[in-house]
Amino acid sequence: MEDLKNIILLFSCLLMLMVCGCQNQNKIPPTRVSSEQIKQLSDNDIFAISQQACVENDKRAIIAPDYNFLSKRLSNLTQNLPQKINNIELNYQVYFDSEPNAWSTVNGCIRINSGLMTLLEDNELQAVIAHEQAHIALKHGISMIRQAPYIEITDKASELVIVVKEETSQQFEIEADNYAFDLLVSKNLDAIGLVNMLIKMPIHAKNQPTSHPTTMKRIANITDRLSHH
Ligand SMILES: [Zn+2]
């Protein structure tokens, strides 16, 4: 899933500490964490890793200040949506980054690039936010790690590559869209945004153009739900 490669930029030291209890090292060689080692991680471990990943990403990003018009716009758009999920307070930031992208981590971080904010209308952005809230609510970040056959830790940028099967990725996207659809409808918001944002920019999918089968299926799924609504 491009999704999770983008979402979970986990940190090698932290993960290495958790899976093998090794001492902190200045330089950790590229390595693989096996599925057996992954299974030893508790939900709380994964929450802690996600929290750390969010903090580290924020440190590397250029974050729009609260008074910036994009931050104000995002804050306004979240007002009609839940502020908490699974009893976790959600927190948002806009990154100054021209790549149209959005991601979330299971501990409640939702990050949206300025490139996506300028590309989308308000109802389309609310659809993106609802979709990211869905990933958090459905704990996809945890399932994704649990189902990974292995995780590869690279020596550059402390990034992890999580291998996720195409079917799993597609299933999570459809599940998140369905959750987002119900959420938007329950708040009297326009669920057509889910389709329009996909047409404009399939989120999490820099390598997946609109013609990609997953995107086509997602659009068909929401269009079908809209027609029966
Ligand atoms: Zn998604």
Q: What is the pLDDT of residues 117-138, one digit of tens each?
A: 999 999 999 999 999 999 999 9
Band of residue 27 on the pLDDT scale cut at 50, 70, 90: very low
Q: What is the pLDDT of residues 76-125, one digit of tens each?
A: 999 999 999 999 999 999 999 998 889 898 999 999 999 999 999 999 99
User: For residues 204, 206, 207 and 208, what is the CA-based torsion angle, rounded to 10 degrees?
Assistant: 60
- Give me ligand 1 centre to Cα 21, in Å: 32
- Give me ligand 1 centre to Cα 222, in Å: 14
- Give me ligand 1 centre to Cα 62, in Å: 23
- Mean pLDDT, the chain, integer: 81
User: For residues 229, 126, 183 and 137, what is the CA-based torsion angle, rounded to 10 degrees?
Assistant: 140
Band of residue 69 on the pLDDT scale cut at 50, 70, 90: very high
- If DSSP states are collapsed to H, E and C, what string results for 34-65? EHHHHHCCCHHHHHHHHHHHHHHHHHHCCECC
Q: What is the model's pTM?
A: 0.82
- Give me ligand 1 centre to Cα 3, in Å: 6
Residue 213 has pLDDT above 50, yes or no: yes
Band of residue 175 on the pLDDT scale cut at 50, 70, 90: very high
Identify the sign of the CA torsion 69, 70, 75, 78: positive
